[in-house]
């Protein structure tokens, strides 16, 4: 596999992920579902406390059972 030219300052994990995604043969390319398990993505999930969809759906279901208060218009952020 030919190494891609990256600018300086990018992490090795970032370069690894991009190289695994930019593969012409789909059989050799990193499957999208595996992207979420890549160390570069996991780092940012932890750093910014990002939850996977399954975790969000579970926690939202739990919150709905615990809280029945309605959201008022004043509580919404106006864009």
3-state SS of 8-76 is: CCCCHHHHHHHHHHCCCCCCCCCCHHHHCCCHHHHHHHHHCCCCCHHHHHHHHHHHHHHCCCCCCHHHC
Distance in angstroms (rounded) separating the CA atoms of residues 46 and 43: 5
Q: What is the mean pLDDT of residues 58-65?
A: 60
- Domains held by the chain: number: 1
Average pLDDT over all residues of the chain: 80
What residues make up the domain containing 19?
A: 12-64
pLDDT higher than threshold 60 for residue 79: no
69 located within any domain: no
40: in domain = yes
In-domain check, residue 27: yes
Does residue 41 have a pLDDT over 70?
yes
| 23-32 mean pLDDT | 96
In this predicted structure, the answer to whether residue 45 has a pLDDT above a threshold of 70 is yes
Is the model's pLDDT at 44 over the cut of 80? yes
């Amino acid at each position: 596999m030919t190494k891609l030219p990256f600018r300086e300052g990018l992490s090795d994990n970032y370069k690894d992920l991009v190289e695994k995604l930019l593969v012409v043969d789909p059989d050799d390319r990193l499957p999208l579902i595996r992207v979420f398990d890549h160390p570069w993505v996991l780092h940012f999930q932890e750093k910014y406390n990002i939850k996977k969809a399954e975790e969000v759906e579970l926690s939202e279901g739990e919150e709905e059972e615990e809280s029945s208060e309605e959201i008022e218009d004043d509580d919404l952020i106006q864009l």
